[in-house]
């Protein structure tokens, strides 16, 4: 069977952080660039901060309320890499394709994400314990 790269790049890496200000300062030092965007996604109870890291982006994720998925993640697993996000051209089609390929989808319909994206997550139990996001730039 022939496979080809249909998740065309690691669009960003999502990192869960406890102390947003301290993390912004650390990543600014580490990457040598300041964040280019800060955006709250109220429906997810999260503030996102984006860094341009050359051929990918770093997305810091900080909870705004205790029942936020990010707060729960940090409670269970501590700070660290939260998800890998792959850029796709047609997210609706990709959701169907990944479902057919046997992956478990958390989102069977695209939803609004940060940074002008439509997003959908694959469940970590079908992807070797890594939360995988597919994202499509909104046109
Ligand atoms: Zn993301």
Per-residue pLDDT of the chain (139 residues; tens, 9 = 90+): 455 567 888 999 999 999 999 999 999 999 999 999 999 999 889 999 999 999 999 999 999 999 999 999 999 999 999 999 999 999 999 999 999 999 999 999 999 998 899 999 999 999 999 999 999 999 8
DSSP secondary structure letter of residue 105: B
55 contacts 82 by C-beta, under 8 angstroms? no
59 C-alpha to ligand 1 centroid (Å): 6
13 C-alpha to ligand 1 centroid (Å): 7
For residue 43, what pLDDT is reported?
87
Task: Retrieve residue 5's tokens.
Answer: 């790269």
15 C-alpha to ligand 1 centroid (Å): 9
For residue 107, what pLDDT is reported?
96
1 C-alpha to ligand 1 centroid (Å): 30
Question: What pairing do the DSSP bridges indicate for beta strands 46-52 and 57-63?
Answer: antiparallel
Among 75, 74, 64, 13, smallest CA distance to 39 is for: 64
């Amino acid at each position: 069977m022939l496979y080809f790269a249909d998740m065309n790049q690691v669009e960003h890496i999502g990192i869960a952080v406890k102390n947003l200000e301290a993390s912004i300062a650390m990543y600014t030092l580490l990457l040598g660039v300041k964040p280019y965007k800060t955006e709250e996604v109220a429906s997810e109870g999260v503030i996102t901060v984006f860094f341009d890291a050359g051929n990918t982006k770093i997305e810091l994720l900080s909870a705004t309320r205790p029942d936020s998925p990010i707060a729960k993640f940090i409670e269970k697993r501590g700070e660290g890499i939260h998800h890998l996000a792959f850029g796709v051209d047609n997210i609706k089609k990709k959701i169907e394709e990944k479902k057919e390929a046997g992956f478990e989808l958390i989102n069977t319909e695209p939803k609004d994400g940060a940074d002008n994206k439509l997003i959908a997550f694959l469940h970590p139990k079908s992807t070797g314990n890594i939360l995988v996001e597919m994202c499509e730039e909104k046109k």
